């Protein structure tokens, strides 16, 4: 990422260079689909031959991980992201959500192995979680999914609203995008249920039961990420228990 000054008006913009041209093309396709909402970063120009995306400079632009936020604010963002799947015309590179889920579980396995933590989760736990996530990803609900919507990839924007950046888009169940926000900071299942129900009540089409199913399925990935980073606190222990069922 390069912070640049645009010729002519002197506006600041971001130049994003992505060596994986398929990732750049998928991000471009998703940003075009979300072009009508101010809750997603604007794509100003692109050169997909070299994987270059020119993006607006979001201001104030503070990652939500460094700010306080509420579920109603998250719900407003999720409502804006929740659009029908764009038609997959010739040249579309958007993959099914199952493809993204499979990649994330493979990454989790590599992280655990690299950190010498293979024994933390029995193979049956990982296999069960992966199967559950793939089943959810392959369900009947289909929309455009951000795919990497967590408080680092959401910035404070103008007018006090959030702005999503850096999608890893896919076609599938939009409830997937709610998981990180529902699970953030949770240490007890009753609180997880309460948050899932509160958020679902604010996002048309979202269901608390489906969000909870996603939470159970991906808990092993979140727990593994925290353990590999040396974080073994109450939240990590809750995620491990949720993953093990």
Q: Tell me, which fold does domain 1-57 have in CATH?
A: Phosphorylase Kinase; domain 1 (3.30.200)
**For position 123, what pLDDT does the model report?**
92
Whole-number Å distance between alpha carbons of 196 and 218: 15
CATH 3.40.920.10 correct for 69-84+95-244: no
pTM of the model: 0.94
For range 153-160, the mean pLDDT: 94
Is the pLDDT assigned to residue 213 strictly greater than 70?
yes
**For position 11, what pLDDT does the model report?**
85
Q: Distance between terminal CA atoms of the chain? A: 40
Cα 216 to the center of its chain, rounded Å: 16
Angle, alpha carbons 83-103-67 (nearest 5°): 60
Rounded mean pLDDT of the chain? Answer: 94
**Would you list the domain boundaries of the chain?**
1-57, 69-84+95-244
* C-beta atoms surrounding 125 within 10 Å: 16
Is the pLDDT assigned to residue 223 strictly greater than 80?
yes
Q: Which residues contact 145 (CB under 8 A, 6 or more apart)?
A: 97, 100, 169, 170, 171, 172, 173, 174, 176, 177
In percent, the amount of the chain with pLDDT more than 90 equals 88
**For position 89, what pLDDT does the model report?**
59
The pLDDT tens digits for 9-67 are 778 999 999 999 999 999 999 999 999 999 999 999 999 999 999 999 999 999 999 99
List the beta bridge partners of residue 96.
Answer: 171
Whole-number Å distance between alpha carbons of 43 and 23: 15
Question: How would residue 131 be classed by pLDDT, with cut points 50, 70 and 90?
Answer: very high
**For position 86, what pLDDT does the model report?**
66
Is the pLDDT assigned to residue 87 strictly greater than 70?
no
């Amino acid at each position: 990422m390069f912070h640049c000054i645009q010729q002519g008006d002197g506006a600041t913009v971001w130049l994003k260079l992505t060596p994986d041209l398929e990732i750049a093309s998928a991000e471009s396709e998703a940003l075009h689909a979300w072009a009508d909402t101010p809750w997603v970063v604007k794509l100003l120009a692109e050169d997909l031959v070299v994987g270059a995306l020119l993006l607006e400079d979001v201001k104030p632009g503070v990652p939500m991980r460094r700010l306080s936020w509420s579920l109603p604010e998250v719900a407003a963002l999720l409502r804006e992201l929740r659009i029908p799947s764009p038609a997959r015309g010739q040249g579309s590179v958007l993959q099914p959500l199952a493809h993204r889920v499979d990649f994330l579980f493979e990454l989790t396995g590599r992280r655990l192995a690299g950190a010498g933590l293979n024994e933390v989760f029995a193979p049956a736990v990982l296999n069960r979680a992966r199967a559950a996530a793939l089943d959810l990803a392959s369900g009947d609900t289909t929309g455009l999914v951000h795919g990497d919507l967590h408080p680092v990839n959401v910035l404070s924007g103008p007018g006090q609203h959030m702005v999503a950046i850096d999608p890893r888009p896919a076609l599938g169940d939009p409830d997937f995008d709610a998981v990180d926000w529902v699970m953030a900071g949770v240490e007890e299942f009753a609180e997880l249920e309460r948050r899932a129900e509160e958020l679902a009540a604010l996002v048309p089409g979202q269901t608390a039961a489906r969000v909870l199913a996603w939470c159970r399925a991906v808990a092993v990935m979140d727990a593994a990420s925290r353990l590999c980073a040396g974080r073994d606190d109450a939240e990590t222990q809750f995620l491990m228990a949720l993953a093990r069922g």
